[in-house]
Amino acid sequence: MTTLTPTVREALRRLVTEIAEHDGVSPINESASLGIDGVREADFFFMGTRSDPHGFVICDERDGTLLVGVHPDHRRQGVGTEMLTEALAAHPGSSAWAFGTLPGAPQLAARVGLSPARELLRMELVPERRPASSASQATTKGTRGLQATLPPGYTIDTYTPADREQIVAINAAAFAHHPEQGRLTVEEFDDLARQPWFSPEGLFVARHDGQVAGFHWTKRHGDGLGEVYVIAVSPRHEGKGLGRILLQAGLDHLAAEGDTRIQLYVEGDQERVVQMYLNAGFKTVQTDTSYHAERGQA
């Protein structure tokens, strides 16, 4: 893992901000951000000077992904191609994310031998526009209004530290197909729970016979933006409507906290889950693309 000096970390954060302001989408995700902070394993490639870079690639070693950013003033000069080629040589099994799939992304990927393999949808909801069928049934005291909608034997309340190992186990089972989310460990959960945004009151837990059956972990970004961070239901408890009820619990909470926009990320090929969000009033506002090397190339 590369440890950045405070000066380099500040310069990289500044460059990320400048790119995001220009493009309207950040070139990095949360995992790469944790890599900048030294919380997760990451490697870094720079163009320019390390204290004043105009381009970067972050290799998120935990997820096996590459995050690329080039300052708008230095684009179409081969900077991205040179950095990504170098990063792929050092980390040949990694894929590359293009957040927002901006116009230059497919061309850059093709130049370095990468092809589109996954799409991640960012969906957004304005709570006031939720369909009548999804309107809040919760009281200001929390989840009491949802209890009547649960199957017999199930309850919903909020997180306690005793839940952490069961939550991580359910997350692994529910996202066994997912190349990043399913890898969450108890240690990584604890790292996230130490982040300033974490709130136990925003992590809703469905229980059956005292055991965790599913959860909805919400996140508040500030400035009126909330997030459906993770929803997972144990495979043993699927088909009972828990995902929909947990979704409603979290949306009610975020709206009650004053969030006027709520976002989420979901794999584009998860049609059943995407439809659940569409039914709740979400709309797709952004598509991210993951590019992989063709078999035999890397």
On whether residue 298 sits in a domain, the answer given is no
On whether residue 76 sits in a domain, the answer given is yes
On whether residue 117 sits in a domain, the answer given is no
CA 185, 190, 196, 201 torsion-angle sign: positive
| Single residue among 112, 138, 158 that ends a domain in this structure | 112
Residue 258: what residue type? Answer: G
Closest CA to 46 of 20, 24, 74, 23: 74
Domain co-membership, 101 together with 140: no
On whether residue 19 sits in a domain, the answer given is yes
Domain co-membership, 107 together with 138: no
| Single residue among 49, 83, 112 that ends a domain in this structure | 112
Domain co-membership, 143 together with 19: no
Domain co-membership, 47 together with 189: no
Say how far apart CA 32 and CA 40 lie, in whole Å: 8
Enclosing domain of residue 231: 123-287
Give the CATH number, domain containing residue 191: 3.40.630.30
Domain co-membership, 131 together with 268: yes
Give, for 65, the enclosing helix (H) or strand (E).
Answer: strand 65-70
| Single residue among 61, 81, 112 that ends a domain in this structure | 112
Domain co-membership, 220 together with 179: yes
Q: What are phi and psi of 146, to 5 degrees?
A: -90, -15
On whether residue 292 sits in a domain, the answer given is no
pLDDT tens track, the chain, 298 positions:
678 999 999 999 999 999 999 999 999 999 999 999 999 999 999 999 888 999 999 999 999 999 999 999 999 999 999 999 999 999 999 999 999 999 999 999 999 999 999 999 999 998 777 765 554 444 334 566 677 689 999 999 999 999 999 999 999 999 988 878 888 999 999 999 999 999 999 999 999 999 999 999 999 999 999 999 999 999 999 999 999 999 999 999 999 999 999 999 999 999 999 999 999 999 999 999 999 986 545 4
Domain co-membership, 104 together with 165: no
Say how far apart CA 124 and CA 265 lie, in whole Å: 9
On whether residue 295 sits in a domain, the answer given is no
- What is the tally of structural domains in the chain? 2
Domain co-membership, 32 together with 143: no
pTM, full prediction: 0.87
